[in-house]
Structure 1
Amino acid sequence: MAALTLSFIGAALSGLTGPAVADVVGEREYMVACAGCHGESGLGDGPFADLLNIETPSLVGLSQANGGAFPFEAVLMTIDGRDNLRPHGSPMPIWGERFQASATSQRGETADMVARGRILSLISYLRSIQQ
């Protein structure tokens, strides 16, 4: 049920903002939060990738690796990280916590709403760069 709800929310938000707006905001978010490890093109070749003790994955083949369908829920959970039980020291930052801690709003959104919006923008951008 949660997967269906999350997929519905993502689809609804994409429809409200339009893919072009979400992709521009998401690309900007990606360049700040993700490109350091995953590279500007999403191929896993960012300037910090060699400093990690794991292979940094390419993000442009997520749909291909999932039978042609973009794995929305898996990407959401991976980026957010707040609901995943990860071993201590996981190399992937918990962006949900970081985005929530830095959230500001002038329109009354909660910190969680701001964090989810930033994550959904990232997901929209990642969907747009699939090969």
Structure 2
Amino acid sequence: MSTKKIGISSIAIMMSLFGITGHAQEGKVDVGKNEYLNSCAVCHGEEGKGNGPLAGIIETRVPDLTTLAQENDNVFPMARVYEVIEGTADVQAHGSREMPVWGQRYGIEAAADYYDFEYDSESVIRARILAVAEYIYRLQAEE
């Protein structure tokens, strides 16, 4: 792949991740929060407490994401959170995997969004998952 194609692909990916569509943005864009609200809040709630609109119809209890560090000796389990979001972690609480496999969905979305030029699908998926995981880190409750 040529350097030019890589550069153009990288710029387009970043523009889509940050919501830049050719016009100036007011203020800063919180990519992690946007991803979380679009992908996770429906079950986990806007504040991450496990009380989203769909939480009541899911058979298993939706986890409170604000206590992950507390439940892990005050260390945020970043690798575990990443794997759960990506879909590679075995999640007993989800039983039959009620939680969507976001890594797979992000890959499908990238293929649709970037079908007309070369891009690195894995980079797009990682960036989106890391943005969500970092936002969940920011939701951690203070002791």
- TM-score bin (small chain): 0.7 to 0.9
Q: Deviations over 1:18-77 (max 9, x none)?
A: xxx7x8110000000000000001000000001101000100011111111110110000
Q: CA RMSD in A?
A: 2.2
Correspondence for 2:89: 84
Q: 1:100 aligns with which of 95, 107, 131?
A: 107
Instruction: Look at both structures and tell me which one has the larger radius of gyration over its CA atoms.
Output: 2
CA contact (8 A) 1:101 1:111 kept: no
TM-score by length of 1: 0.75
Aligned ranges 1:28-107 → 2 under 5 Å = 28-81=34-87, 83-84=88-89, 89-103=96-110, 104-105=113-114
Measured in 2, the distance between the counterparts of 1:38 and 1:53 equals: 14
Indicate whether 1:27 and 2:33 are aligned: yes
Measured in 1, the distance between the counterparts of 2:58 and 2:122 equals: 29
Correspondence for 2:138: 128
Letter of the 1:50 partner, please give it: G
Measured in 2, the distance between the counterparts of 1:62 and 1:86 equals: 14
Letter of the 2:89 partner, please give it: N
Judged with a 3 Å threshold, the aligned counterparts in structure 2 of structure 1 residues 52 and 73 are, in CA distance, closer, same or farther, namely same
Structure 2: segments with no counterpart, 5+ residues? 1-27
Measured in 2, the distance between the counterparts of 1:39 and 1:69 equals: 22
CA contact (8 A) 2:86 2:103 kept: yes
Q: Which 4+ runs in 1 deviate beyond 6 A?
A: none
Task: Give the % identical residues.
Answer: 35
Following superposition, the deviation at residue 92 of structure 1 comes to: 1.2
Structure 1: segments with no counterpart, 5+ residues? 1-20
Q: 1:118 aligns with which of 121, 124, 128?
A: 128
